[in-house]
Chain A
Amino acid sequence: MAGDQGLTLTTAPAGTAPTGDDLGRRGALSAFFAYKRRTRLALLLGPPVFWLVIAYLGAIAALLLSSLWSIDGFTEKVVHSYGTGNLHTVFTDATFRAVTVRTLGIALLVTVVDAVIAFPMAFYMSVVASPRLRRILVVLVLTPLWASYLVKAYAWRVLLAPDGPVASVFGGTPGYGRTALVLTLAYLWLPYMVIPIYAGFEKLPRSLFEASSDLGAPPGRTVRSVVLPLVFPAIAAGSIFTFSLTLGDYIAVNIIDSKTQMLGNVIYGQLITANNQPLAAALSIIPLLAIVLYLAAMSRTGALDNV
């Protein structure tokens, strides 16, 4: 009984398995499935797996396949002849390479900025704040997600304008450049970092703090050596969002820092401007690969249990 986690019905002695007659018609279904563990599992996992594997992964596979096609130079229509020309271009072209490196760099930077801002907030919310304040703070952190992403990006344009609020309050403004871009992206994804770290803090046994200070550690040391290692998987979980959302962004970039080109812009440009879907599909392999590698790296830290 204890060993088999799969069954949700208690085992009756073999030979006296509950039948439909025993329990009345209501129990017939449960009785039917009582010993059919695999069937139950298949029924439970079937639909979601079908949706995700057949439908979604299948769509991704079809996309990757289309990257092997080409475009007729004159009609701009897709030609179903196979070849690796697009892949070759994607991995050797200097511009695409520069854009990839830049995008990865920005994604990592945004992740770090978000982690730095979110950590003390989640710490306070979970460990210091009273239960009532905690609820209020969670609401406050989640509400901005409901304000439109586009509107928030334009609001940053206003904030960082040469004659805007930031300039009046701080005496200067970074203007519409790389700094503004990192700031805006970090802003947009901040709630996605705060909530997982907060959940991670909730799992932290409070006695650790007392134990650590009993052993003579000042607060900084406690945070560094006790809290951080334990909360790190949660930070990694949050980073999955900030990293992936930045990696694919092309709208906020255009609004805040149109001189910078990111992977999303290049893909969008080839797809919509040049109407070259095969090349756009080939370019999509870069973020696809980056995310798969990132997820693989993060899963080692246990992040996938903390999302």
Chain B
Amino acid sequence: MYLTARTRLVLRLLTLLGLAFLYAPLAIVVLNAFNTSRTYAFPPTGYTLHWWSAARHSSAVLETLKNSIWAGVGATVVALVLGTMAAFGVQRYTFFGRRSVSFLVVLPIALPGIVTGLALRNVFDEVLGLPLSIWTIIIGHATFCIVIVFNNVQARLRRTGSSLEQASADLGGTGLQTFWFVTLPNLRGALVAGALLAFGLSFDEIVVTSFTAPADRHTLPQWIFDNLSRPNQAPIVNVVAAVLIVVAVVPVWLAQRLTDDAAGSRF
């Protein structure tokens, strides 16, 4: 690695600027969680902990948080299963239309949420007559989460190759034993990274959710959307967001620890 000291300095500076850019709005969010003003006045008109206690007592926050977690877990599980299967299919076999699968898998996340949401709701309402429920939310989220797991697992499979698996078979392992004792541990990092990103994506999603969620079960982003425009509730939203930021560091950090290779995660 041969780079001049000046190059390193420039890169370091640019990275710091980039990080400042990334965190300036988050600082505002945390600030507004303590702001007495109900309409984001800057500089803050005063400081208070009132919104924190209001958030703690808000039944709506807890309810929608629960729904978001359920939807996220459901979508992640489906994405893990389907994404891993697809990654194995594409990576370990050659067949006609192999590239098309990559394209197909990326499509749900590439198409605008409003198109995906509209299409899914159209199917639920007109074609299937399926009432909206937590399951329709999960279906919507899982569809664009599959690609996250797929990409992470595929990248990992590409790097490790199948030699270990062949060795295991040579030593007399059955398909299932090989998968459980050799393949899966190798994939652990990719699966965790993929699962975490998929969960995060589902947790913050608002557009597709607004089309696939039933009237009586809303997710946290929907609650945020409904309440950011109401002066009495907007600061509570900031409290919730501030808590989310702080809490999120833990799983993100854990995922990085568990990913053995330095290439990190894939979208």
Interface centre among A191, A202, A248, A271 (most CB of B within 10 A): A248
0 or 1 for each of B163-174: is its CB under 8 Å from A? (1 = yes)? 001100110101
Near A by CB (< 8 A), chain B positions 200-221 give 200-201, 203-204, 206-207, 220-221
Query: Is A177 in the interface zone, CB < 8 Å from B?
Result: no
Near A by CB (< 8 A), chain B positions 60-119 give 81-83, 85-86, 88-90, 92-95, 99, 101-116, 118-119
Chain A's nearest CB lies how many Å from the CB of B24? 6
Query: Is A190 in the interface zone, CB < 8 Å from B?
Result: yes
Q: Say whether A143 contacts B252, CB under 8 Å.
A: yes
Whether A51 contacts B109 in the complex (CB less than 8 A), given A59-B122, A143-B245, comes out as no
Whether A59 contacts B103 in the complex (CB less than 8 A), given A120-B18, A127-B3, comes out as no
Q: Say whether A219 contacts B207, CB under 8 Å.
A: no
Chain A's nearest CB lies how many Å from the CB of B12? 6
Whether A210 contacts B2 in the complex (CB less than 8 A), given A140-B19, A142-B252, comes out as yes
CA distance A268 to B117 in the complex (A): 11
Query: Is A291 in the interface zone, CB < 8 Å from B?
Result: yes
Interface centre among A5, A23, A213 (most CB of B within 10 A): A5
**Residues on B with beta carbons closer than 8 Å to the beta carbon of A62:** 119, 122-123, 126-127
Q: Which of A84-92, A94-102, A155-163 contacts B (4 or more CB under 8 A)?
A: A155-163
Give which listed residue, A6, A48, A137, A291, contacts B93 with CB less than 8 A.
A6
Whether A37 contacts B174 in the complex (CB less than 8 A), given A51-B146, A140-B19, A156-B25, comes out as no
Give which listed residue, B88, B106, B241, B256, contacts A44 with CB less than 8 A.
B88
Interface centre among A30, A34, A45, A163 (most CB of B within 10 A): A45
Q: Say whether B15 contacts A124, CB under 8 Å.
A: yes
Q: Say whether A155 contacts B115, CB under 8 Å.
A: no
Query: Is A152 in the interface zone, CB < 8 Å from B?
Result: yes
Task: Report the nearest A residue to B112, measured CB to CB.
Answer: A248
**Residues on B with beta carbons closer than 8 Å to the beta carbon of A123:** 11
Q: Say whether A41 contacts B93, CB under 8 Å.
A: yes
Count of chain B residues with a beta carbon within 8 Å of a chain A beta carbon = 110
Chain A at the B interface: mostly helix, strand, loop or mixed?
Answer: helix
Give which listed residue, A48, A63, A240, contacts B115 with CB less than 8 A.
A63
0 or 1 for each of B1-38: is its CB under 8 Å from A? (1 = yes)? 11110111011101100110111111011001000000
Count of chain A residues with a beta carbon within 8 Å of a chain B beta carbon = 112
Q: What are 24 A-B residue pairs whose CB atoms fall within 8 Å in the complex?
A: A5-B162, A8-B169, A9-B175, A30-B174, A33-B175, A37-B93, A47-B82, A51-B142, A55-B139, A120-B11, A120-B18, A121-B14, A123-B11, A142-B265, A143-B249, A148-B224, A151-B241, A163-B42, A187-B22, A199-B264, A219-B7, A248-B113, A294-B110, A299-B99
Taking beta carbons and an 8 Å cutoff, which residues of A are in contact with B?
A: 1, 5-6, 8-10, 23, 26-27, 29-30, 33-34, 37, 41, 44-45, 47-49, 51-53, 55-60, 62-63, 66, 117-118, 120-121, 123-125, 127-128, 131, 134-135, 137-152, 154-159, 161, 163-165, 187, 190-192, 194-196, 198-199, 202-203, 206, 209-210, 213, 219, 240-241, 244, 247-251, 263-264, 267-268, 271, 277, 280-281, 284, 287-288, 291, 294-295, 299, 304-305, 307
Given contacts A45-B89, A149-B204, A304-B106, 16 further A-B contacts (CB under 8 A): A6-B93, A44-B86, A48-B85, A51-B82, A52-B105, A59-B122, A60-B111, A120-B18, A139-B256, A146-B203, A152-B25, A158-B32, A165-B28, A195-B264, A195-B265, A202-B262
4 A-B pairs closest in CB distance: A248-B112, A146-B248, A30-B175, A155-B25
Taking beta carbons and an 8 Å cutoff, which residues of B are in contact with A?
A: 1-4, 6-8, 10-12, 14-15, 18-19, 21-26, 28-29, 32, 40, 42, 81-83, 85-86, 88-90, 92-95, 99, 101-116, 118-120, 122-123, 126-127, 139, 142-143, 146-147, 151, 155, 162, 165-166, 169-170, 172, 174-178, 197, 200-201, 203-204, 206-207, 220-221, 224-225, 228, 237-238, 240-241, 244-245, 247-249, 252-253, 256-257, 262-267
